[in-house]
């Protein structure tokens, strides 16, 4: 009964909010494209770096939209900053923001809707080298922060703090800023005993959600059938060539959390409330 009532209230609230703001959103979109440029994120090509592979990439597909179908775009400047999230002994190794690459208009081609599109791809090696970051100071859990500037032919510049973005970029998915996490993603499976700790904050099970573990083609599903917690030991034998953890969502995702400990004892992955569906990216540095 608790979950049915909550669901009904959420639906009613959402419908009311949408009906009240729909006209305003349309007006904002029209006004924004008329006075500047939106740099829309069409697709995420790669969002996580692998510290064990310097050639791993961050990538997005961009689309420029303005009152002249992208004709106002002059170039896109891409800035990067190394963010030290694993500070030890108060020694913060975060870098200053530096220019990594510039995308000229020649890097863009006409997309299916008539607007210029281009792929922005930056390797981990390029990002760390450009920011002057030593590989030895980087650890799993750190990140590369990207900020984009769109330069128009009349000299105006739009970026993540520009007034020209719609609702802070949310309507067009035009953030002008991205963060690429750095993980130690094993090239080959790390064998041994993993510990999977699962939590449901309401205490009534995972509502249809589960984590699937694939070991060389043999899959096993793990969930909380009832109650607020469950813990499992997952043994990965020596010689394993394929190891994949996948999260499948259920209902009331805000109640679901998990922590996966690697055989080394470090946190290999964690999710929730509301874990991201799909393959779980591992971070095993030890």
> Per residue in 207-239, pLDDT tens?
999 999 999 999 999 999 999 999 999 999 999
The pLDDT of residue 26: 36
Rounded distance, CA 50 to CA 98, Å?
21
CATH superfamily of 37-183: Macroglobulin (MG2) domain (2.60.40.1930)
The pLDDT of residue 173: 58
Entry field: residues in the chain:
286
The pLDDT of residue 34: 45
The reply to whether omega before 273 is within 30° of 0 (cis) is yes
Task: Say which CATH architecture domain 192-279 belongs to.
Answer: Sandwich (2.60)
Rounded distance, CA 194 to CA 16, Å?
46
Residues of the chain with CATH 2.60.40.1930: 37-183
Q: What integer is the mean pLDDT of 4-12?
A: 48
Q: What integer is the mean pLDDT of 180-198?
A: 94
Residues of the chain with CATH 2.60.60: 192-279
Q: Is the pLDDT of residue 162 over 60?
A: no
Residue with the bigger pLDDT between 256 and 30: it is 256
pLDDT one-digit tens code per residue, 115-139: 999 999 999 999 999 999 999 899 9
Summary mean pLDDT of the chain: 85
The pLDDT of residue 125: 97
The pLDDT of residue 66: 81
The pLDDT of residue 32: 42
Q: Is the pLDDT of residue 164 over 50?
A: no
The pLDDT of residue 13: 52
Q: Is the pLDDT of residue 18 over 50?
A: no
pLDDT one-digit tens code per residue, 52-78: 999 999 999 999 988 888 888 999 999
The pLDDT of residue 35: 57
Q: Is the pLDDT of residue 5 over 60?
A: no
The pLDDT of residue 89: 63
Q: What integer is the mean pLDDT of 183-204?
A: 95
Q: Is the pLDDT of residue 44 over 80?
A: yes
Q: Which residue has the tokens 């520009």?
A: 162
């Amino acid at each position: 009964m608790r979950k049915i009532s909550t669901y009904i209230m959420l639906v009613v609230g959402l419908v009311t909010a949408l009906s009240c703001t729909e006209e305003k959103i349309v007006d904002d979109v029209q006004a924004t494209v008329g006075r500047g440029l939106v740099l829309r994120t069409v697709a995420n090509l790669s969002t996580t770096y692998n510290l064990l592979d310097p050639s791993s990439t961050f990538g997005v597909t961009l689309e420029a939209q303005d009152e002249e179908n992208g004709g106002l775009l002059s170039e896109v400047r891409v800035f990067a900053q190394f963010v030290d999230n694993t500070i030890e002994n108060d020694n913060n190794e975060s870098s200053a923001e530096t220019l990594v690459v510039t995308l000229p208009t020649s890097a863009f081609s006409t997309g299916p809707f008539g607007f210029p599109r281009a792929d922005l791809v930056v390797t981990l090696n390029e990002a760390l080298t450009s920011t002057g970051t030593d590989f030895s100071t980087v650890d799993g859990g750190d990140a590369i922060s990207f900020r984009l500037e769109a330069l128009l032919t009349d000299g105006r510049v739009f970026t993540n703090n520009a007034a020209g973005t719609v609702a802070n970029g949310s309507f067009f998915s035009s953030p002008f800023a991205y963060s690429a996490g750095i993980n130690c993603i094993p090239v080959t499976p790390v064998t041994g005993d993993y510990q999977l700790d699962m939590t449901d904050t309401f205490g009534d099970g995972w509502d249809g959600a589960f984590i699937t573990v694939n070991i060389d083609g043999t899959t096993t599903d793990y969930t909380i059938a009832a109650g607020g917690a469950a813990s499992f030991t997952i043994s990965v034998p020596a010689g394993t060539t394929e190891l994949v953890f996948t999260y499948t969502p259920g209902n009331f995702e805000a109640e679901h959390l998990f922590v996966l400990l690697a055989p080394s004892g470090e946190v290999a992955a964690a999710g929730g409330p509301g874990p991201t569906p799909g393959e779980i990216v591992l971070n095993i540095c030890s």
